[in-house]
Amino acid sequence: MRYSSLADFLALGRAALARGPVGLIFVEDLAEIESTISYHLKAGFRALVVFAPSEITIAPEAEARVHRVDYSLIADHALERAVNAVIEAAPGQWLYYCFNAEYLFFPFCETRSVGELLTFHEGERRDAMLTYVIDVYAGDLGLRKDAVSLTDAWLDKSGYYALGRPDAVSGHPKERQLDFFGGLRWRFEEHVPADRRKIDRVALFKAKPGLTLRADHTFSDEEYNTYACPWHHNLTAAIVSFRTAKALKTNPGSTYDIRTFRWHNSVPFAWNSQQLLDLGLIEPGQWF
């Protein structure tokens, strides 16, 4: 079903939020819209809500499987406004958000659903899951001008690191919170604003009254921003994303400085969770 605005969806489409987990996909351009939808439906989301500008056409067979909301991300804080509106409308439900040409990977995702993942995670008294946004990019930018290729995707096998996240008031590091960096945002940081270089995103979370998403992809409840509980390591997931590569190759300020994204630490992406586990980019925690 298609809705003419966010307000229209919240008024008429709340049935889509009745059973979780619910995925929210935000469309910024034409890159891999249908594959993003198909991938996340196969991952086990009970419903997908696709926010896309009204002028963007989605293939009918894909649009028929989702709740389409006409919505633009051009305005400041448009993402947070939409996510927070859904949080308010769906208390108690697990939610997920990503952009087109992004794909969720978690331990054993080839044989287990996102619902199973979150059932275990919630059983460990966790209401949010840290996800790392792992940049992937086309190997041949001569053939793929937008740096997007599902069949020739590469990623960095190293170069990831974390720094303590300081408290704005005390200046001391926050407990169980880190800022994570790496990938294209690190290697091409001269083209990326400082406040957009982090690769951590709390993309899987349980909605509750009063919870709000902030502009830096963190939440108003500080426990949601932690990478693990106080007792042991928890599950983490990754969002394999062409978004940074797209931006760097389509932005006039950076495209001519980049002939290739590949370097000595690039490896072909195998499109499976085992590779991400082997590289230490996702963790199974206590889930086997």
pLDDT in tens, 10-59: 999 999 999 989 999 999 999 999 999 999 999 999 999 999 999 999 99
| Domain total of the chain | 2
CA distance 124 to 236: 13
For 22, other C-beta atoms within 10 Å of its C-beta total 22
- Domain of 47, CATH number, reads 3.40.50
- Section 233-261 average pLDDT: 95
C-alpha pair distances (Å), 45 with each of 23, 114, 266? 6, 7, 31
- Separation CA 70–CA 47 (nearest Å): 17
Q: What distances in angstroms separate CA 27 from CA 30, 99, 178, 217, 269, one per listed residue? A: 8, 6, 28, 17, 23
Q: Do 13 and 109 fall into the same domain?
A: no
In one-letter notation, the amino acid at residue 226 is T
**219's tokens:** 């939440």
pLDDT at 231 over 90: no
pLDDT over 90 (residue 132): yes
Quick one: 43 and 182 in the same domain?
A: no
- Dist. CA 262–CA 268, nearest whole Å: 10
Residues forming a β-bridge with 22: 47, 95
Residue 109, token pair as written in the block: 């995702």
Contact 108, 273 (CB under 8 A): yes
What stretches of 125-196 adopt beta strand conformation (E)?
128-138, 153-156, 161-166, 173-181
In terms of domains, do 73 and 185 share one? no
Domain identity same for 121 and 95:
no
pLDDT averaged over the chain? 95
Cis status, amide bond into 166, omega within 30 of 0:
no
Residues 68 and 123 placed together within one structural domain of the fold: no
Q: Same domain, yes or no, for 171 and 242?
A: yes
The residue segments making up the domain with residue 44 are 1-100
- 85 and 220 share one domain: no
Considering the domain architecture, whether residues 80 and 211 belong to the same structural domain is answered as no
Q: What does DSSP say about strands 94-99 and 200-206: parallel, antiparallel, or unpaired? A: antiparallel
**60 and 115 co-located in one domain:** no
- C-alpha 191/C-alpha 20 separation (Å) is 38
Measured CA angle at 211 (ends 127, 165), to 5 deg:
75
Calculate what percentage of the chain has a pLDDT beyond 90: 92
**DSSP letters along 38-56, please?**
HHHHHHT-SEEEEEE-TT-
Average pLDDT, integer, range 259-287: 96
> pTM (2 decimals)?
0.96
pLDDT above 70 coverage of the chain, percent = 100
- The string of pLDDT tens digits covering residues 143-192 is 999 999 999 999 999 999 999 999 888 888 999 999 999 999 999 999 99
